[in-house]
Chain A
Amino acid sequence: MAEFRMPSLGADMEAGTLVEWLVKPGDHVKRGDIVAVVETQKGAIEIETFETGRIEKFLVDLNSKVPVGTPLAEIWAEGEAEPVVAAAAPPVTPAARPLAAPAPLITPSPPVVPSAVGMRASPAARRLAKERHIDLSTVTGSGPAGAIIYADVERLGAAGAAPERKRAPGLDLNAMRVAIAAAMARSKREIPHYYLEHQVDVTACEQWLTAHNTTLPPDNRLLFGALTIKAVALATRRFPAFNGFYRDNKFEPAQAVHIGVAISIRGGGLAAPALHDADRISLDELMASMRDLVQRTRAGRIRGSEMSDPTITVSSLGERGVEALYGVIYPPQVAIVGFGKVVERPWVIDGAIGPRSVVTMTLAADHRVSDGHAGALFLAEIGKLLQEPDKL
């Protein structure tokens, strides 16, 4: 038997609220399946299981806020028999006890279903009843043909609980801002950043992209950003000191390369979820993953592993028209690579001046882990990889 636990979705996460099960007891799940949605400061995040087996039972009620590590469900391997009742197995309640005030942060997700056939209730009445946990079958309707309207529910609930804070699941930009503030303040407090800048001729990339994209429908075309992510991913293989985590006063290099892609969110938010195994997948796969990631991030549906996995971050404000950006490292990562806008510049090639497409790359890295010399070689390696886009 395995336990499906509340995962840590970032260095600063202590607890999360279980808001939705996407499976039910008895369902078969395999490693990587999305089984639940957890609400954190970063928004609603889909959680995958690392176990394969059958969901045996749920251990935590919906809308409970529980600490990281709390078992949420039991998953039994195929064919696993009911265990002999453990002698002193304590009930799971201690761990599952809600952390904070019992009032859930968001409204429960089961839709209000009319409990009597033919009951009529307006959308406004249904919404209010749901917010106040009022069973509509207990409400007398005063609307047309006895329909329950807003005022009927309001009257009933007036003496009861105060209306809860309304909040759509998904992105909460205010909470996200708090999370960004905490992570960035911690980064600047703890990480001794050093910064390097390097200009690279990317004319070859532009020419290659133009040729590559000519015959492709718009949905399949590659963007320059895909090349930069791939180049950074490949460069970390030779320079592992930029790929990993700094924890407990030591650097832990990461085996895989999961690139955190900085994605801005309309209305003023920022997330940098992981593009998994960016060094091993093809450019087309990388581009498709990137499109999917951007779309889901902006819709507030990021998977748990994507939040906690990035081993290095790539940020690009290119289209916004700045030529260079100096990143703040997302702890516990140790490096962030920035790409500015691609600009036309006079450039010396073989002793003659000609127009070339040039991009300014920057590196902000953790001086506890690497030094400027290594950083310079790392940036140069990325630049070199970008000279041969067909090999990326």
Chain B
Amino acid sequence: MKQETVKAQMIETTYREAAKEAIRDAIKRDERVFLMGEDVGRYGGCYAVSKGLLAEFGPEKIRDTPLSESGFTGAGIGAAMAGMRPIVEVMTVNFSLLALDQILNTAATVRHMSGNQFGVPVVIRMATGAGRQLAAQHSHSLEGWYAHIPGIKVLAPATLEDARGMLWTALEDPDPVLIFENVMLYNMSGTLAADAGPVDIDKAAVRRPGHDISLITYGGSLWKTLEAATSLAAEGIDAEVIDLRSLRPLDDATIMASVAKTRRAVIVDEGWRSGSLAAEIGMRIVEQAFWELDAPIGRVCSEEVPIPYPRHLENASIPQAPKIVAAAKAVLGRA
């Protein structure tokens, strides 16, 4: 392929706008694509991702649904099996539990149970994570649970590029793809190439190269981890930061290559510690890279409590940069 010689024009945008642009692009590219979910039309989406899209595309493409996650997720699965390419928006991962039966027992199993006769090319987007004082029924990070389920893919876009680019690739996938958007990222602003387009959805990315320790994370925790890496650098510790991007499948190769280089790892995961995705990654490192390790593996996860409402308690309950710095230094014996 010819190398682009002219530097692409950059635009100022936000994660929210990038996610919206991804939906607009998909609807324009493929007439089978439509968006459905609670308040995605007239209200413009609970996080305003679809604001303006109803006016632009009309009610056939931007469909408000009744307040029934199981019902409309099931409808999306059925539409996908029948040939459409639906984007189902669920307000938060907490609410997605009402649709868990549809996602696990139907979407993830139909290809298997039909002997490969039917696939479910649905994309289900939802918000995840704490930090907006939405209390214990709207703030959890359960994407690690979904990453447990064979038959689906689970994505966690953390950057503008991924918010813009993962959706189309996910829609191209013949099987269900879940996209988790961290609520603290929607307002994040930055620059994005004006011609930004689809990106791969099966590779982790090294967001900051380093030699002393691998900090492995995803989603909203990426930026806290990068902040921690900057603090560590000031103390002479050169941390590498891995953005998983895909939580299922996990890109073991990138993780192991990093750990083999740094010989130390801390996993940062906003899920609860017990039975977490962080636990899975830690175990894989032990299985595949034990003889490369110079220190026990560390973890920074959420405290094992329902996410509290008061701001100071909410902040204390989830991973933050100082906790990541402390965990990294403990692994390095520099506490």
Contact = CB atoms under 8 A, between A and B. Distances in A.
B227 interface: no
Interface in B257-296: 263, 290-295
A123 B291 contact: yes
B199 interface: no
A124 B294 contact: yes
A221 interface: no
Nearest to A151: B294
A124 B291 contact: yes
B240 to A, nearest CB: 16
Contact of B290 (A123, A125, A149, A150): A123
A150 B291 contact: no
B333 A150 contact: no
Interface in A137-192: 143-145, 147, 149-151
Interface size class of B (residues with CB under 8 A): 10 to 19
A127 interface: yes
A201 B161 CA distance: 61
Interface residues of A, number: 13
A151 B292 CA distance: 12
B333 A145 contact: yes
A143 B333 contact: yes
A122 B264 CA distance: 10
A122 B333 contact: no
Contact of A123 (B293, B330, B333): B293
B84 interface: no
| Of listed A122, A143, A147, A151, residue having the most chain B CB within 10 A | A122
B295 A144 contact: yes
B184 interface: no
B263 A149 contact: yes
Given A149-B263, A150-B263, A125 B333 contact: no
Nearest to A149: B294
A122 B333 CA distance: 13
Given A149-B263, A150-B263, A124 B333 contact: no
Given A122-B263, A149-B263, A127 B333 contact: no
Interface string B307-332: 00000000000000000000000111
A153 to B, nearest CB: 10
A143 B263 CA distance: 12
Contacts of A125: 294
Interface string B32-73: 000000000000000000000000000000000000000000
Contacts of A124: 263, 291-294
Contact of B293 (A122, A145, A151): A122
Interface string A66-107: 000000000000000000000000000000000000000000
Interface of B: 263, 290-295, 330-333
Given A122-B293, A124-B291, A143-B333, 4 more contacts: A124-B263, A127-B291, A147-B333, A151-B294
Q: Considering the complex of A and B, which 10 residue pairs feature the smallest CB-CB distances, nearest first?
A: A144-B333, A122-B294, A149-B294, A127-B291, A123-B293, A123-B291, A124-B294, A150-B294, A123-B290, A124-B263
